Structure 1
């Protein structure tokens, strides 16, 4: 009950109610006729399954959340409060916002969504942050409220697909597949690129059709912005490099937090706390590190260091550096808390003295009051980051714990195997229909519960059906994950589009449907890596030649589908070429040599028809940004 209540408070009613139905199914399964019935279990057996085994509340999802995801939520909060989120948006505006064409704002929002998504890992948070800064620009460029909302939410939802977190699911996927976290990031790389390519091309088509205008954006030059704040990229590279050389994911993420914290002091405006607190923490960390090194030296642990490779040396010293950094940051946080408390107690007294000296001036206007407030803000930034990370961790922990309750019932009653068998039988052992039914099932499940919980439940209920027909485990797990994300842009639970509509003043349902349209071509890609062995190359499995060829084919398929759904090629596309382009895109997604040949032929035909129809109408290619001022 406490787990369900914690989930209700952090994520709403949907997931606890779903878990409640599963508990009732476990209790009263004997009353259900047919395949899905079972003998029923007493409450003490269900409680024991959840509380005393590793297939319930304390199962793999919660273990992963407590070990890895908590660190990532803190890492994202540290980056956000050190100004990385704003820098990523400003950097995107500086890089693409001054392109001089009407499609520049759309490209800018897409790029900013990707960069910001790597920090937040939350579709709603990315949408809100991005929308608050980008909506005025989109409005000036001539974007409709609903189109702008769809664009913002599509760019924001990409945070759930983007490395390094995949919306907190990356570590859980790694545990279920029994592969390294780095391998999961590799699996997600090309699908993420295809997702943003889809958004970019779809938004490009709408921008051209609406004849949006170029907008002057007041940002520093790109080189100046990069020179001043480019260090925010460093911690992202630190994660990848440490993982590549064999450092454990736990230590890699923690050291990235340390790097992001230390780098925030390169600029006064991005400091997370005062220099005094930093100095005290650094001194303690240095003392601990030196003491540990002396202890190891006296124990003779350094005798064979010369025989170790670079990765082995890093693995040897990383725990020492991590321990010293942890204790140093703990002291820094304690000192920061003390400084904040002192300033908060001193501020009212200082304000009162200022008011008395100034002759009834309003509180907080005096010099001392202003100084106290500014200093308190600097010292409290680290505490705010830790608080935000902790709140995010509570949400993830409660979600994974409640998902564990559902998994326990599925395991205890055999529901997963029953459902998998029913899906395969319904599809008559046909792989295409099995994959299609699995996609629909995951999508419906995702309408009721958050993405992470949806993936966890589907992993035990639906993945076996795909594996039974020969789909590789990696492809099966990535497939259900992507369709769990698709549910997040589908009504009635499309939180990101609803948040975007609230920002832009658009219609929530219309905004949701536009966001769905922008994402849809990319969400056909999972069929590519489940229906054929060559398609698995999208997950970077197989030879490099096959990977490159399949990636290029997928890009062409996305472009063809963007023509079909977006209605724009060189100029406005008519129905014939849109139908041909759509058929070409679907054929290219099959990742089969014969299907590729058909897809190329259909795309050539669509191009020829488009050019002939354009010539017959006498319509030249229309420049971007030709709309009225």
Structure 2
């Protein structure tokens, strides 16, 4: 970008235009005329409004960096965090969709903004007074708490829709009217005074663990991703993927998978992943010969799986660590094999589709050096390596890792333009440094805007978590589910998966995970233990996480499918159905790692305390890790071939049956040993599975060779 354009960005860039474009992409539905596309954010052509919202966003990012280096009392920091989010909601998001730009912010939104900020800051301002009279709440305390919760409901409705608010409201009604409930779920009921105090003036409700994780971890990683994207890393990943894979069969689609995986490592958002990468890859996939539906679906599947990729893994991964009392590093270790197996199998599916359709690679300019493209953005890997070093080698907290990586990114953004000029022998001036500071400013603004949804969602989700701790509904639910499932652990896992998919249609991944894991995870662990299965808590929480992510491409509401369909100019429902079909392989892995913990690199757990994170023994033998990864890959490849009806060539029914038989033999060999007497140990199970896979491949290869000769 030219210098004048960058300086113009610094002076005149309209943050609301950015917001509008982002939301159009996220909510895009193919339309015949663009004027019928409704946008969700407020568009006002006023310099004062632009500067005000941008300064609030920038101040929020500065505050988060400050508390990362100078820690603050948790209640105080959560209070300020929520106040920023509420202020931005009522300034940026209108009460309803508008087809035309508004001329000003309505007075009622200004009033809601002011009252909301005051209510959100109340625990901060009155922190010491509330600490001196715990539980002895005044009428004014109850009034402020009630007003704050109502405003939070409205804020949630504006940014994430009504679903989470409705669920939270149901839980509040259950808390208050407990004595009128059916006997099996009845309780004595909570007074308004107790309910308001518990939900808003303690760290059990709104200001509980979910919002705390948003303050501590999520914001810094979202800021890191925003800075990395603004620096140019996103485009670098896309260019690199196309340079390496574009010339191969179905190259654009394969490049889309790799680019989405690389982008997903730092974005942590399926929809953002689809919009960022899909804008470039979907048109190229269509040019290569894929239909609009399949091009959109491949990008959806690749984008959705981006939330599985370490080191960021979406916001919910940080909450998993917090809920389980585990280090985030251990969560990453547990997630690494399933994540890479997922992406490798999607890459394989794309290859199978390309073979079925007879696609060819793209013609590439031979004058463009792949090595040059690789080295052109090598500096973008430095902050990622710094983050991984801080987490894995230095064994510091995720906060330190993100903070260190952000500082490195600041330096890269400021100096990359001057260094490029110096390398080209051009003169460097002060405006080149202003470019970097401008990019940092707008990246921090974008991060705050993206965090608004997460902060509000985690605040609302805290009400549900607080309700469970207040009433003990979790224990009641475990009894109800136990009756329904009849001690069948597979049935309870299936019901949990369905619940995650249904709730995920109306909730963000983070909120979906919090709701389902809070309600169902303890039940699964209890039933598993009762039926003789020692399942670590991390396996169950990742199970819920996986199915929550899959909801992003599940019709009829999968938002990632809508985003991809808008770019591909296809029907969002058919794109979602096709994307979910590609992602069926992702539904197999959670069931597998629940019963075969080695897929999570867990050797064993303490039978006396199966839910204690400290009781986990991790696999450290590199050869065993390689065996687990390679056999899991074969299992997922076999499942993908059976699903697609294609291997080396089209498969027959008996070949499909054999390929499906490979899946349990290599993914859950421990269960095969337990239930099949002819298999003495896990290594035998691996060998049989790999042997069957090899025989089918050899037969297919010879059949394909024979068909080519005869033709």
Out of 185, 189, 194, the position equivalent to 2:336 is 189
Q: How does 1:275-354 map to 2 (within 5 A)?
A: 276=430
Q: Distance in 1 between matches of 2:305 and 2:176?
A: 39
Pairwise CA distance, 1:185: 1.4
Q: Deviation per CA, 1:544-574, whole angstroms, max 9, x where unpaired?
A: 2544333222111101101111111111112
Instruction: For 2:175 and 2:432, locate their aligned partners in 1 and report how far apart those are by CA, in whole Å.
Output: 53
Can you list the C-alpha shifts for 1:565-594, whole angstroms capped at 9, x where unaligned? 111111111222112212321343223263
Which of the residues 151, 160, 168 maps onto 2:298?
151
1:506 counterpart (563, 566, 570)? 570
CA contact (8 A) 2:337 2:599 kept: no
Matches within 5 A, 1:186-335: 186-217=333-364, 220-243=368-391, 244-268=393-417, 276=430
The 1:420/1:230 distance shift into structure 2, 3 A limit, reads same
- Check conservation: 2:176, 2:192, Cα contact below 8 A: yes
Partner of residue 498, structure 2: 440
Runs of 4+ in 1 over 6 A off after TM superposition: 613-618
Contact 1:177 1:473 survives alignment (8 Å): yes
Distance 2:205 2:154 in 1: 17
Q: Is the 8 A contact 2:649 2:704 kept in 1?
A: no
1:481 match:
545
Specify which structure has the bigger relative contact order, considering alpha-carbon pairs within 8 angstroms and separated by 6 or more residues: 1
Give the equivalent residue in structure 2 for 1:16: 165
Q: After alignment, is 11-20 or 147-156 more displaced?
A: 11-20
Deviates more, 1:465-474 or 1:68-77: 465-474
Deviates more, 1:412-421 or 1:232-241: 412-421
**Who is 2:451 aligned against?**
393
Counterpart in the other structure of 1:570? 648
Aligned to 2:239: 90
Partner residue, 1:524: 588
Assess if the C-alpha contact under 8 Å between 1:431 and 1:531 holds in 2.
Answer: no
Larger deviation: 535-544 or 86-95? 535-544
Aligned counterpart in structure 1 of residue 465 of structure 2, from 398, 407, 410: 407
User: CA, structure 1 residues 618+169, in 2 after alignment: closer, same or farther (shift >3 Å)?
Assistant: closer
What's the CA shift for 1:109?
0.8
Which residue, 658, 662, 679 being the options, matches 1:584?
Answer: 662
Look up the match of 2:228.
79
Over 3 Å counting, the alpha-carbon distance change for 1:197 and 1:618 in structure 2 is: closer
Q: How far apart are residue 513 of structure 1 and its match?
A: 1.5
**Using the alignment, how far apart are the partners of 2:331 and 2:323 within structure 1?**
11
Is the CA contact 1:141–1:212 (under 8 Å) kept in the aligned structure 2?
yes
Q: Distance in 1 between matches of 2:451 and 2:667?
A: 38
The answer for the alignment partner of 1:116 in structure 2 is 263
Moved more, 588-597 or 59-68: 588-597
Distance 1:533 1:160, change over 3 A: closer
The residue aligned with 1:125 is 272
Shift of 1:604: 4.8
| Match of residue 100 from structure 2 | none
Q: 2 CA distance for matches of 1:582 and 1:195? A: 17
Instruction: Report the Cα offset of residue 276 of structure 1.
Output: 4.5
Deviation (angstroms), 1:8:
2.1
| TM-score where L is the length of structure 1 | 0.77
Paired residues for 1:23-102 under 5 Å: 23-99=172-248, 102=249
- What's the offset of the Cα at 1:79? 0.7
1:160 deviation in Å? Answer: 1.3
The 3 A distance-change label for structure 1 pair 269 and 525 is farther
Segment of structure 1 superposing worse, 561-570 or 538-547: 538-547
* Residue in structure 1 matched with residue 606 of structure 2 by the alignment: none
Among candidates 490, 493, 516, match of residue 557 of structure 2: 493
Once residues 693 and 439 of structure 2 are traced to their aligned partners in structure 1, the CA distance between those partners, rounded to angstroms, is: 56
Structure 1 residue 128, shift from structure 2 partner: 0.9
Do the aligned partners of 1:151 and 1:515 also contact (CA within 8 Å) in 2? yes
CA distance in 2 between counterparts of 1:171 and 1:615 reads 49
Contact 1:403 1:456 in 2 (8 A): yes
- Distance in 1, matches of 2:183 and 2:254, equals 53
TM-score (norm 2): 0.69
1:504: how far off? 0.5
- Cα distance in 1, alignment partners of residues 577 and 602 from structure 2: 27
Deviation at 1:209, TM superposition (A): 0.7
Distance in 2 between residues matched to 1:608 and 1:446, nearest whole Å: 40
Quote the Cα distance in structure 2 between the aligned partners of 1:70 and 1:23. 28
CA contact (8 A) 1:194 1:522 kept: no
Bigger Cα displacement from structure 2, 519-528 vs 532-541: 532-541
Aligned-pair Cα RMSD in Å: 2.8
> C-alpha displacement at 1:456, in angstroms?
1.2
Residue of structure 2 aligned with 1:541, choices 601, 609, 618 = 618
Give the superposition deviation at 1:408.
1.2
Pick from 403, 419, 423 the counterpart of residue 477 of structure 2.
419
- List gaps (5 residues or longer) in structure 1: 280-335, 337-376
Q: Is the Cα–Cα contact under 8 Å of residues 137 and 215 in structure 1 kept in the other structure?
A: no
CA distance in 2, matches of 1:621, 1:461: 56
Whether contact under 8 Å (2:299, 2:564) holds in the other structure is yes
Q: Deviations over 1:57-77 (max 9, x none)?
A: 111111111112111111111
Deviation of the 1:435 alpha carbon: 2.5
User: In the superposition, relative to structure 1, how do residues 115 and 608 fare at CA in structure 2: closer, same or farther (>3 Å)?
Assistant: closer
Q: Distance in 1 between matches of 2:260 and 2:525?
A: 34
Separation in 2 of the partners of 1:479 and 1:74? 27
Distance 1:53 1:378, change over 3 A: closer
Measured at CA, do residues 138 and 394 of structure 1 come closer, stay the same or move farther in structure 2, by a change above 3 Å?
A: same
- Given the alignment, which residue of 514, 525, 529 partners 1:467? 525
Secondary structure class of the residue paired with 1:448:
coil
For residues 601 and 296 of structure 2, what CA distance do their matches in structure 1 show?
Answer: 34
Once the two structures are overlaid, the 10-residue window that deviates more, 246-255 or 476-485, is: 246-255
Structure 2 unmatched runs, 5+ = 1-149, 421-427, 529-533, 604-616, 677-681
CA contact (8 A) 1:58 1:404 kept: yes
Separation (CA, whole Å) in 2 of partners of 1:537 and 1:228:
35
Q: Does structure 2 conserve the Cα–Cα contact (< 8 Å) formed by 1:54 and 1:60? A: yes
CA distance in 2, matches of 1:263, 1:536: 35
Deviations 1:125-163 (A, max 9, x none): 110111111122111110011100110111111221111
Structure 2: how far apart are the matches of 1:583 and 1:214? 33
Larger CA deviation: 247-256 vs 53-62: 247-256
Judge conservation of contact 1:578–1:606 (CA < 8 Å) in 2: no
| Deviation (angstroms), 1:532 | 3.8
**Contact 1:264–1:270 at 8 Å: present in 2 too?**
no
**How far has the Cα of 1:186 moved from its partner?**
1.2
CA contact (8 A) 2:414 2:437 kept: no
- Cα distance per residue 1:355-411 (max 9 Å; x no partner): xxxxxxxxxxxxxxxxxxxxxx76532221111011122221111111001111122
Structure 1 stretch 149-158 or stretch 607-616: which is displaced more? 607-616
